[in-house]
């Protein structure tokens, strides 16, 4: 636990400083690197259950994905009516997520046809490659889109990080002190429903603080925090399922006391797109 706390004390200020003062391109690049590290761990788990990904191809597409998400800030739109907008200008270099998905699909098809692997490995290889892109890279890439929302992008990224950090912290202490009812014993024996409720409460408290700072309706931000927290807990559980299937305790050993990169970002993977879409629907001015 001491090693876990020390690692957090070192990393959290660095992350906060990068989010608040770093240029958008730097944040997008670092988020892409973190995702690539997490995907390497994800594919290692896949290897343990006999699923060999087209790893290099998938990682190339992930790099393109994060550039595509970053490049969306170059697109300017002009509203001409309720629910109707036109692209007013788009600087060169804009790439869409859909284009990356199509490139990934056709690349997998070519690899499947030209591979020297046994034919019975082609479908599992495509499946685990697509799973890494769909269940890890694409959802997490919405942190980049959050950062591009003007004028509250940096605050929203910090909000997303804080609801996960505070929720995890309160879940630990509530679960340890009052936890009695197992939440998902087959996936994570130590998680309890009491801890899960503490997790949600921690996120709601963050929403109250950030509502005053961001000048957003507190109820709206609490709704966003609550739903994102539930999504984050689901992400934590599904990552536990991956590890259980691979018969390992942690996805990696890169972060002392925390395990691997995937272990640390599992909740953020699903929380980030939830915050993005709900803020666009409920919280964004106008």
Q: Looking at the predicted structure, is the pLDDT value of residue 198 above 90? A: yes
pLDDT given at position 87: 52
Lowest mean pLDDT, pick from 7-16, 54-63, 100-109, 273-282:
7-16
**DSSP letters along the chain, please?**
-HHHHHHHHHHHHHHHHHHHHS-HHHHHHHHHHHHHHHHHHHHHHHHHTT----HHHHHHHHHHHHHHHHHGGGEEEEEEETTEEEEEEE-TT---HHHHHHHHHHHHHHHHHH--S-GGGHHHHHHHHHHHIIIIIHHHTHHHHHHTSTTTHHHHHHHHHHHHHHHHHHHHHHHHHH--SEEETTTEEEEEHHHHHHHHHHHHHHHHHHHHHHT--HHHHHHHHHHHHHHHHHHHHHHHHHHHHHT-S-S-SSBTTTB-HHHHHHHHHHHHHHHHHHIIIIIS--
Name the band, by pLDDT with cuts 50, 70 and 90, for residue 104.
very high
CA distances from 134 to 97, 100, 183 (A): 12, 12, 26
CA atoms within 13 A on the CB side of 200: 13
Q: Looking at the predicted structure, is the pLDDT value of residue 156 above 70? A: yes
**pTM score, two decimals?**
0.90
Q: Where are the domains of the chain?
A: 2-283
Angle separating helix axes 97-114 and 55-71, nearest 10 degrees? 170
Buried b (16+ CB within 10 A) or exposed e, 226-235: bbbbbbbbbb
259 or 278, which is more confident? Answer: 278
Token pair listed for 193: 């429903």
Question: What is the residue-averaged pLDDT of the chain?
Answer: 90
pLDDT given at position 44: 96
pLDDT given at position 120: 86
For residue range 105-154, list pLDDT tens digits in order. 999 999 999 888 888 899 999 999 999 999 999 999 999 999 999 889 99
Token pair listed for 171: 């879940």
pLDDT given at position 82: 53
- CA 285 – CA 73 distance, rounded (Å): 18
Mean pLDDT of 207-212: 95
pLDDT given at position 285: 64
For residue range 78-97, list pLDDT tens digits in order. 555 555 544 544 556 788 99
């Amino acid at each position: 636990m001491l090693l876990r706390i020390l690692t957090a004390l070192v990393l959290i200020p660095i992350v906060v400083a990068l989010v608040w003062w770093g240029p958008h391109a730097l944040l997008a690049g670092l988020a892409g690197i973190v995702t690539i590290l997490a995907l390497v761990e994800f594919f290692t788990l896949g290897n343990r259950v006999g699923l060999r990904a087209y790893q290099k191809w998938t990682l190339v597409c992930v790099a393109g994905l994060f550039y595509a998400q970053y490049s969306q800030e170059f697109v300017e739109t002009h509203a001409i009516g309720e629910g109707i907008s036109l692209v007013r200008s788009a600087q060169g270099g804009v790439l869409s997520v859909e284009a990356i998905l199509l490139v990934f699909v056709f690349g997998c098809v070519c690899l499947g046809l030209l591979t020297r692997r046994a034919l019975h490995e082609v479908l599992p290889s495509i499946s685990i490659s697509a799973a890494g892109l769909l269940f890890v890279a694409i959802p997490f890439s919405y942190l980049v889109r959050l950062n591009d929302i003007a004028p509250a992008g940096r605050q929203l990224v910090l909000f997303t990080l804080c609801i996960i950090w505070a929720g995890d912290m309160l879940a630990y202490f509530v679960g340890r002190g009052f936890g009695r009812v197992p939440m998902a014993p087959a996936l994570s024996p130590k998680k309890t429903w009491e801890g899960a409720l503490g997790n949600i409460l921690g996120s709601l408290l963050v929403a109250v603080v950030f509502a005053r700072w961001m000048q957003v309706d507190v109820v709206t931000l609490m709704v966003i925090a609550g739903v994102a927290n539930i999504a984050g807990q689901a992400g934590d559980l599904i990552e536990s399922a991956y590890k259980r299937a691979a018969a390992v305790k942690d996805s990696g050993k890169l972060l002392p006391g925390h395990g691997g990169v995937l272990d640390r970002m599992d909740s953020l993977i699903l929380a980030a797109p939830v915050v993005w879409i709900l803020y666009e629907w409920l919280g964004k001015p106008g």
